[in-house]
Every structure is written in structure tokens, then in C-alpha cells.
Amino acid sequence: MSMNGILTIILILACMLSVFWEASNGIIRQFSGTQIDILPVIMVYSGLFAGRRTVCLTALSGGLLFDSMSANPLGVNVLSLFLVGWVVSMGKDTLLKEDVFTQCFLGFLAGLANPIISLLILMSAGNIPLLGWESLWQLFIMAVASAAATPLLFLVFDKMRKVFCYQTTTQSSFRSDREIIRKRM
């Protein structure tokens, strides 16, 4: 199996664990007043380190799993997660992937953009979600939690990628202590 195939499996399993954790853990929801969502962080990682096929599969599996556990119509979060991952993947060559500040900033933006895009999709479909001043607080908490979780999840995913995926070698076949003598004949 190729490196992208293993990374795709790791990210889809992370989506499953994330949705299960969000559905079963109510302590953080009672404390903060909002549900913390880790799926945008997974989409940021897949957008930065995986191919576009992995971004599509991760958004599809994570969005469908999240929608099946929530009151949203099926498929609403698929499009919002896909847009987050796709935008990040378009700029992955210019972004500093290993910089913690960049990771936190991307996590903040993804944690903010995902619910806003989902709300826009719901409202354009004719649904009227409950919105108020408390919704701004919930958006802020979700964005800050995503920003805080991004470097931690990047560390976990990097360790898993190093364990399960092969690493390309950059070592030359020539030793550095070897001298090549060239003579004219």
C-alpha cells in the first residue's frame, strides 16, 4: 500500500474517533456551552500533507459521520469540510507546515470557517437554525479550541506517519570521506 493510502486510512480513522468522542463526551459541552469540533483540524492536516483524493475521502467520511450523529441534514458538513481542506491544499506549497503559529492560525480559521459555511448551506437550503448573540461566543470557542488542538494533532499525525509510512531517503550513494582523483590520460 502506498504512503498516501496509509495516510488516508489514518485520517479516516481519526475522523471516526473524533466523531465518536464528540458524540459521547458531554463534559466539555456543558462547561463551555458549545460542542468542540476536531474535524476541521483533521481537514487542515489532510490539506497540508495529503493529496486531493485524501482530502475528498476525509471530508466525505468525516462529514457523513458527523451529520449522522447530529440534527443536520445528511451531507451539510461534507461540503464545508471539503471546502476547508481544498483551500488549505491549494496553498500547501507556500505555507510553513512545521511552524506552530501557522498551524494554530490555520486551525483557528478552519474552526471558524467550517461552522459558518455549514450555517450558510443550511440557510440556503431553507432551514432556519437558532442564531443569537450566544452563537458568536460558540463560534469563538470552537475556533480557539481548534487552534489549540491543531499543533497537538499535528504531532500525533506526524508520529503516526513516521511509524506507518515509509520515509524517503535523501542520502547520497557517495561517502563524504571519499575523494575522487581525476587524471588526464
Domain annotation for the chain: domains and CATH numbers: 3-164 (1.10.1760)
In the numeric block, which cell numbers belong to residue 169? 531517503
Q: Are 153 and 38 in contact (CB under 8 A)?
A: yes
**What is the spatial distance between Cα 91 and Cα 28, in angstroms, rounded to a whole number?**
33
CA distances in angstroms from 146 to 86, 109, 113, 167, listed in the order given: 18, 9, 11, 29
pTM for the predicted model, two decimal places:
0.82
Cα dihedral sign, 89-94-96-101:
negative
* DSSP string covering 75-128: THHHHHHHHHHHHHHHTTTTS-TT-HHHHHHHHHHHHHHHHHHHHHHHHHTT--
Longest dimension (CA), the chain: 87
pLDDT of the chain, 185 residues: tens digit per residue: 455 688 888 889 999 998 888 888 777 777 777 788 889 999 999 998 888 898 999 999 999 998 888 878 888 889 999 999 999 998 887 778 788 898 899 999 999 999 999 889 888 888 777 777 888 888 998 999 999 999 999 999 888 888 877 766 666 666 666 666 777 76
Q: What is the CA radius of gyration of the chain?
A: 20
Count of beta carbons in the 10 Å neighbourhood of residue 99: 12
In the numeric block, which cell numbers belong to residue 1? 500500500
